[in-house]
Amino acid sequence: MEKITGLGTIDRERLTALIRGTKGTISVAESADILKVSSVSAAKMLARWAKKGWLSRVRRSIYISIPLESRTTDVPLEDPWLVADRLFSPCYIGGWSAAEYWNLTEQIFRTIAVMTVQKPRNRTPNIRGTNFLLRTVPERTMFGLKSAWRGQVKVSVSDATRTILDMLNDPGLGGGIRSTADMFKDYLKSENKNLDMLIDYSTRFGNGAVFKRLGFMLERFSPDENTIIEKCKSQLTKGNSKLDPKLGADKLVTRWKLWIPKNWVKEQ
């Protein structure tokens, strides 16, 4: 745990210029550009300020500033979305984190779900006490996104419909199929409901299992959506899928080519 020590006048002016000229995080490259120094000099300054406790290193060459009121550098991330945007770009906030943003759930998730084009080795990093869950997505599927303002910075987040698509593709992004189903029901009651868009997104995404899960859940939770249900049926692919790949499956719903768990069979 580093203790914060004093800065001289020049260092204070330089650090103030960096904080004003950056957005949430501070990189070596940005520092060199703002302070008009070489990358080597910028890196040494940032490392020195981190040692003195005025910055905290979150990854190689990336730092965050320490709040003035803090007495140590052992502080949580002020805004994890900003850090995610810097470290994992191209990316967007998705899954349960996006569901919280769109008021599709009242659950509180401690981990930030991030969909990224990168292929990180560690897909569950902990950065300054904040847990992240990283999922790699093809660049062609970077659609259905909105900009969320975090202070003066725009961070990409999946829109409500894309959020549902991602959770139908991977129920784990919703905390499991039961939680995903609850969010889906809230989506059906929300002002963001757009089933035609959901069909369009699902078609562009290109995973047949999405239509099987979507059709099954619409039939169960919103059976009056006959047109959309029929569109799902028309998109069924060969082979059987699971309602939730991480759960056991006891019954095959043949009309949806979908294996479902025993506790869902009772609700048939």
pLDDT tens-digit map of 178-192: 999 999 999 999 999
pLDDT value of position 26: 85
| C-alpha–C-alpha distance, residues 109 and 200, integer Å | 29
pLDDT digits (tens, 9 = 90+) for 140-164: 999 999 999 987 789 999 999 999 9
Between residues 131 and 22, which one has the greater pLDDT? 131
Q: End-to-end CA distance of the chain: give it in Å, rounded.
A: 56
Q: Given pLDDT bands bounded at 50, 70 and 90, which one contains residue 24?
A: confident
Q: Determine the Cα–Cα distance for residues 152 and 155; give it in Å rounded to an integer.
A: 10
Query: How large is the average pLDDT for residues 218-240?
Result: 95
Which pLDDT belongs to residue 231?
97
Quick check: 91 pLDDT over 90? yes
pLDDT of residue 76: 53
Higher pLDDT, 128 or 139: 139
Domains for the chain: give ranges and CATH numbers: 9-65 (1.10.10.10), 80-237 (no CATH)
Asked whether the predicted pLDDT for residue 5 surpasses 50, the reply is yes
The predicted structure's pLDDT at residue 267: 52
The pTM score is 0.82
Q: Mean per-residue pLDDT for 13-18?
A: 84
Q: Alpha helix (H) ranges present in the chain?
A: 9-21, 28-35, 39-52, 80-88, 95-101, 160-169, 177-189, 195-205, 208-221, 226-234, 262-265
Rounded to the nearest integer, the mean pLDDT of the chain is 89
Q: What is the DSSP string of 223-245?
A: TT-HHHHHHHHHTPPSS-EESST
- pLDDT over threshold 80, residue 72: no
| Cα–Cα distance for residue pair 144/167, rounded to 1 Å | 14
pLDDT of residue 57: 80
